[in-house]
Each structure stands twice: as structure tokens, then as C-alpha cells.
Amino acid sequence: MKPSELSIYLEFAIVHTFNVLIVSKPGTGKTEITKNACEAFRNGNSLAVFLWHPVVHDPTNYKGLPFPDNTHTFTKWLPYGGIWDLINAKEDYIVVIIDDLGQAIDAVQKPLMQLLLEKQIDGLLIPNRVVFIALTNRREDKAGVQGILEPVKSRFKGGIIHLEVDTEDWVKWAIINQMPTVLTAFIRFRPELLDNFKPTKDMVNSPCPRTVAAVGETYNKGIPAGLEFEVFSGIAGKGFASEFMAFLDMYRTLPDIKFVLMNPKSADVPTEPSTLYAVCGALAENASENNFDNVVEYTNRLPSEFQVLLIKDATNRKKELVNTNAFIKWTSDHSDVLI
């Protein structure tokens, strides 16, 4: 399931109180996607969200602290903060995000079974409207995941959902989060480098959405001259850094985009795919309501697949462009394309 689909499904799961287990390799954005889905659901709904990290829990955390009753004839259990918060939550909907469940030891997973299924722990009740959304990496990811107990897995009524990396979803996220245009253009050109995670015990990184985003963040801050390759290598691996630096060098020598915008009928149209991706990225970034007629006029001279990505990226950056006559005409002429 890709991120945009997962966001829709999580809203469904919250409404119907279905527990969900989300599985993926490291760095795909499981936690952020889940938090964002909760924030989107909170808009218009009364929702409480709690974040648990069972990897630092003790098995007795869920039962609480023993203390004598007023008569000192028997012992009760005083719930710790996590359970206490659930018991006292007043919101209409309650979500518990259980992060890195697969890294928790078996002794911690076991007491979760009753919470997940019966919404209680040894007689201590939590609201029936609590939804548990658990996240984990896979066993093969070298992330310290030993596995999840079978009776724990089967208590996720909403299923075990495997999150997949999706280039289109990532580009939309990158635009919203102000990733550099050259990076989104590069990922368009080499989408396989967005998801090239290779687990290893060596002290190196590999490309995944998290590390690619980190490249964008450091680039935006202005890396000191001469250090870009080493920095990018340390963040996403030497292979990624080599290809991105080559693309970056080409991007920095592009023709003046202002000239293209002023001369959409006569400006050169590149033939190399890498240059086409770069030009499309630059035009999408510079598109506005005032110049979109010219952007579309130049776009119509591009190969069809590049027309689509340019229009998509431009309208994702500036939603108001969908109201322009140029956009309406282009979509009418390309009614078979879903933007």
C-alpha cells in the first residue's frame, strides 16, 4: 500500500476501531505518515493521540504499581502514565501509535495481547474506542526486529499492511516540505534511487525516503563549498552522491529559465532525459498564474510523459494554477490524463 492509500485507510480504521500493524523497511516514513493521518482526521473530529515506544517498556509497565487499599487488607494496582492517559481520555476517538513494536522483547509484547483484543489489562479497563496502530521494520532489515508473536499479529483486526515507497507520493510530500527542486527533478529522473535501501553492518547509509530527504535538508542550508560529495555520501551513500552530483552539475548549467518563459515557442527543447527532468522541475518551480500560459505553451512541445509530470508538479506547488485558462485547456486537450 502506498502512503496516500495508507492515509485513507488509517482514517477508516480509526472510525471503525480496527487495530492496524504497518510494516516496512526503515526510513519509509511510517511514523510521519501515521501522525499526519491522525492530524488530518483531527480536523473536524475530537481525537487524542498517544505515542508509545515499547522497546523501552518493562513487562510490568502495563499492569501498574501495587499499593494497599485503605484497609490494608489487599493490594490494588495504580496504572502508570500510558494506561492512565487512556483511561482518562475524553475525546471521541483515541489512537495509540505503538512505534517499533517489532524491536520490543517478547515479554513486553505478551501483555499487549489483552490490551489489543479485550481493551483491558488484568481487569483494568481502557475505553473500547481506543485504536492501536503499531509500526515495525522487517526481520531482514537489520533493525533489531526479532519478530512479533503470532497471537499479537492476529489481534490487528485491520490487518498487517505493508507500506511501499511511491515516487509520486514522495514528490508531492517533497514539494509541500520545500525540498530543493533539483532533488525532486533528480528523483523523477532516477526514481529507483528513492528506494534503494541495503541493510548492512558497515558504517554507511543507503538511499531511502528518509536519507534522500536529509540530502534535501542539508542542500537547502547551503553546504560549505567543496564538501557536497562527502556530505551526500555520508547521508545516502556514495552511489547516490555520485549520480546526484552529476545531475546537480548539469542543473547548474541549464539555460536561463526566464528565457524559456519569455520565448516558449522558440526556446530549445532538450533531448536528453536528464535535462528534460531538470527543465521540467525548474519550470514547475517558477510557474505562476501570470506566466502559466507560456509554461503550458512550452509544455505542449515536450514529450507527453514530461508534459504530465510538469503540469502535475506545477499544480502541486501552486494549487491556484488549476483555475487558469491554460490549465483548463490543457486538461481538456488531455482528458485521458489524471492529474
DSSP 188-203: HH-GGGGS-----SSS
- State residue 339's pLDDT score: 65
pLDDT confidence bin for 75, thresholds 50/70/90: confident
Beta-carbon contacts of residue 69 (< 8 Å; ≥ 6 apart): 75, 76
pLDDT band per the 50, 70, 90 thresholds, residue 68: confident
What's the pLDDT score for residue 122? Answer: 82
Q: Of 124, 213, 207, which Cα lies nearest the Cα of 174?
A: 213
Taking only the tens place, the pLDDT of each residue in 304-315 is 999 999 999 999
Backbone angles phi, psi at 292, to 5 degrees: -70, -25
C-alpha cell at 28: 519509509
Q: How does pLDDT run across 16-64, given as a tens digit for each residue?
A: 999 999 999 999 999 999 999 999 999 999 999 999 999 999 998 888 8
Supply the pLDDT for residue 99. 98
Most distant CA pair in the chain: distance in Å? 92
Contact 140, 102 (CB under 8 A): no
Residue 81's pLDDT is: 82
pLDDT in tens, 134-158: 999 999 999 999 999 999 999 999 9
Mean pLDDT value across the chain: 94
CA dihedral 252→256→261→263, nearest 10 degrees, is -140
Burial class (CB in 10 A: 0-12, 13-18, 19+), 284: buried
Per-residue confidence band for 338, with pLDDT thresholds at 50, 70 and 90: low
Asked if pLDDT for residue 286 goes beyond 80, the answer is yes
Q: How far apart are CA 44 and CA 37, in angstroms?
A: 13
Assign domain 3-162 to its CATH architecture.
3-Layer(aba) Sandwich (3.40)
- Mean local confidence (pLDDT), 278-300: 95
Look at 62-71, 82-91, 167-176, 200-209 and tell me which has the smallest mean pLDDT: 62-71
Neighbouring-strand partners of residue 160: 21
Q: pLDDT value at position 335?
A: 81
Cβ partners under 8 Å of residue 332, min gap 6: none
Where are the domains positioned within the chain? 3-162, 167-333
